[in-house]
């Protein structure tokens, strides 16, 4: 189906149905497929939300909300039946056994079971598209944290690195952007400005449990196929695109060969090998692609692929839980590094909330496909928007370079709010 027709259809769906989702294949790559899934819920259809602060999972259907558990993973194990497909996200604080501050705005998780699902193949070859980024019209203030706060957090991480408490830490911050914006119009700008394999739009417009998530993520959290093979594609290492072909090629070559950037990727790849070994059959975990450069409209990224076959006793949801959150968004070792960044990020714009979590679909028959929540806008009310951004810190990192990389990642997302 032509791009414009898919956009028009989903605009109609979003206007008519408070709970809906679009997993958008318009910016896909060869490895992710060029298929869109659009789903919407009727009033009696079921959705779930999770509050990590209250340890409460709510089931929403027929205009009513009831508490059905205290662990989103356990509730999904009960709710997701064979033949069903659920769409949604896990926020960063979805594992109560790990250190993460609960969200203060959108729910820590939203999962929906639409009774209407339509699938579309995007016609032709999907090419990289680069849209002009408009200058700010002044309505939206960027809201970046003060440089001193980021510098202090950076130095806290550096101290932990030198003490040997962590080998690499993903330091992030949240920017709050104020101003009313139509979520659907904003998403259409975002998909034009920053097309990505894990693009998508989620709308859960339920009173006191509302969330909009607008994704343009390039990173795979986990794909589980019908043969129970699980694959993750961690991204670590970023350089900007060049202004000329020569500069662009030089930046890509720098990414491919720089010892610091390669070490970032290698440490996270090793962490993912360890994570997959916890859920996979012995001897099946492999790295079929190590530190390959992928190019996107604003950045080059260094990407590896880690793959294995799930053990018979490990369910899809259990596998997703044990891997969570993505190692590329924590650092290595995972638990100790999460403790370090939890303290370091306290003055950097509030909890991560949905950012650094995972967004996609889960099937009751076993397969699943979720991306890491990066390059993403979230809002609980269409008036206050959150953008998370950051990057991996090692002992060789420079505070000014890391701050510039984080801004570069956020700029294209923020631009979709400017009209």
Tell me the pLDDT of the chain (419 aa) as tens digits: 677 788 899 999 999 999 999 999 866 556 556 788 999 999 999 999 999 999 999 999 999 999 999 999 999 999 999 999 999 999 999 999 999 999 999 999 999 999 999 988 866 544 443 433 333 333 434 444 557 899 999 999 999 999 999 999 999 999 999 999 999 999 999 999 988 999 999 999 999 999 999 999 999 999 999 999 999 999 998 899 999 999 999 999 999 999 989 999 999 999 999 999 999 999 999 999 999 999 988 889 999 999 999 999 999 999 999 999 999 999 999 999 999 999 999 999 999 999 999 999 999 999 999 999 999 999 999 999 999 999 999 999 999 999 998 998 999 899 999 86
Q: How confident is the model at residue 394, as a pLDDT?
A: 94
Residues 6+ apart with CB under 8 A from 234: 219, 265, 268, 269, 272, 303, 304, 306, 326, 327, 328
Residue 238: CATH number of its domain:
3.60.120.10
Alpha carbons 110 and 304: distance in angstroms, whole number: 29
| Domain that residue 179 falls in | 3-127+142-415
Tokens representing 16 are 């008519």
Catalytic residues: 219, 236
- The predicted structure's pLDDT at residue 4: 79
As for how many domains the chain has, the answer is 1
Does residue 135 fall inside a structural domain? no
pTM: 0.93
Residue 389: exposure state from Cβ atoms within 10 A (0-12, 13-18, ≥19): buried
Q: Does residue 90 fall inside a structural domain?
A: yes
Rounded (to 5) percent helix, strand, coil in the chain: 30, 30, 40
Asked if residue 134 belongs to a domain, the reply is: no
Identify whether the C-beta of residue 222 lies closer than 8 Å to the C-beta of residue 232. yes
User: Using CB atoms within 10 A of its CB, is residue 313 exposed (0-12), middle (13-18) or buried (19+)?
Assistant: exposed
> Does some domain include residue 133?
no
- 286 inside domain: yes
Looking at the domain assignment, is residue 132 inside a domain?
no
pLDDT of residue 136: 36
In a domain, 136, yes or no: no
Q: What is the pLDDT of residue 412?
A: 87
Q: Which of 312, 272, 295 is nearest to 194 (CA)?
A: 295
Burial of 64 (0-12, 13-18, 19+ CB in 10 A): exposed
Query: How high is the pLDDT of residue 29?
Result: 58
User: What is the rounded radius of gyration, in angstroms, for the C-alpha atoms of the chain?
Assistant: 20
């Amino acid at each position: 189906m032509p791009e414009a027709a898919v956009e028009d259809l989903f605009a109609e769906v979003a206007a008519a149905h408070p709970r809906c989702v679009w997993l958008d294949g318009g910016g896909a790559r060869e490895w992710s497929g060029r298929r869109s899934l659009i789903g919407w819920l009727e009033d009696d259809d079921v959705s779930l939300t999770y509050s990590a602060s209250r340890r409460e999972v709510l089931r929403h259907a027929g205009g009513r909300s009831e508490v059905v558990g205290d662990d989103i993973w356990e509730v999904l194990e009960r709710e997701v039946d064979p033949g069903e497909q659920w769409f949604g996200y896990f926020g960063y604080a979805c594992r109560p056994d790990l250190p993460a501050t609960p969200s203060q705005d959108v729910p820590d998780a939203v999962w929906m079971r639409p009774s209407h699902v339509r699938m579309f193949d995007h016609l032709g070859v999907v090419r990289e598209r680069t849209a002009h980024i408009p200058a700010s019209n002044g309505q939206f203030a960027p809201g970046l944290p003060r440089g001193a706060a980021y510098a202090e957090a950076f130095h806290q991480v550096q101290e932990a690195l030198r003490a040997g408490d962590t080998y690499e830490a993903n330091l992030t911050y949240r920017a709050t952007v104020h101003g009313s914006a139509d979520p659907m119009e904003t998403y259409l700008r975002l998909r034009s400005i920053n097309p990505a394999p894990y693009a998508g739009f989620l709308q859960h417009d339920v009173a006191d449990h509302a969330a909009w998530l607008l994704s343009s993520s390039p990173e795979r959290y986990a794909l589980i196929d019908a043969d129970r093979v699980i694959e993750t594609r961690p991204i670590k290492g970023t350089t900007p695109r060049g202004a000329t072909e020569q500069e662009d090629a030089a930046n890509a070559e720098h990414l491919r060969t720089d010892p610091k950037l390669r070490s970032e990727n290698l440490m996270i790849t090793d962490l993912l090998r360890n994570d997959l070994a916890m859920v996979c059959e012995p001897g099946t975990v492999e790295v079929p692609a190590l530190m390959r450069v992928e190019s996107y409209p604003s950045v080059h990224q260094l990407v590896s692929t880690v793959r294995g076959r799930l053990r018979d006793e490990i369910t899809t949801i259990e596998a997703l839980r044990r891997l969570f959150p993505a190692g590329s968004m924590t650092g290595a070792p995972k638990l100790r590094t999460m403790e370090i960044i939890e303290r370091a990020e306290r003055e950097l714009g509030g909890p991560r909330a949905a950012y650094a979590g995972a967004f996609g679909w889960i099937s009751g028959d076993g397969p699943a496909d979720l991306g890491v929540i990066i390059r993403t806008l979230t809002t609980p009310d269409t008036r206050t928007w959150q953008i998370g951004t950051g990057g991996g810190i090692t002992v060789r990192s420079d505070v000014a370079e890391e701050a510039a990389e984080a801004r570069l990642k956020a700029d294209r997302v923020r631009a979709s709010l400017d009209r």
